[in-house]
């Protein structure tokens, strides 16, 4: 299979590997504790674990894009902000 059309660098592989790992963790979590513990958070609508994961991943993408546009290519701070944001989403949303 020729995958030369995609730039498979270590950061690219780590990104996709992290997404796969998160999905595997969420699957195991759902098998062990079914139901996803739906709750109404600060957004005012019911969310499950999967909803909160999706919101945190989507908002992390926007955090990184904003960081690239406003600050530059050093993304370590954007990663730290995204991790704190994801914890806040899982706790309060």
Which residues, other chains included, contact 93 with Cβ-Cβ below 8 Å and sequence gap of 6+?
Answer: 41, 42, 43, 47, 52, 55
pLDDT digits (tens, 9 = 90+) for 7-32: 777 777 888 899 999 999 999 998 99
Q: Domain-by-domain residue ranges, the chain?
A: 10-92
pLDDT digits (tens, 9 = 90+) for 41-74: 898 889 999 899 999 999 999 999 999 999 998 8
What pTM, to 2 d.p., does this model score? 0.81
Structural tokens at position 44: 């005012």
């Amino acid at each position: 299979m020729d995958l030369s059309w995609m730039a498979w660098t270590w950061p690219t592989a780590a990104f996709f590997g992290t997404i796969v790992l998160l999905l595997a963790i969420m699957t195991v979590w759902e098998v062990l504790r079914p139901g996803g513990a739906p709750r109404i958070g600060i957004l005012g609508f019911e969310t499950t674990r999967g909803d909160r994961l999706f919101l945190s991943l989507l908002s992390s993408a926007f955090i990184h894009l904003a960081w690239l546009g406003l600050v530059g290519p050093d993304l370590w701070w954007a990663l730290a902000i995204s991790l704190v944001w994801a914890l806040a989403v899982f706790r309060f949303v």
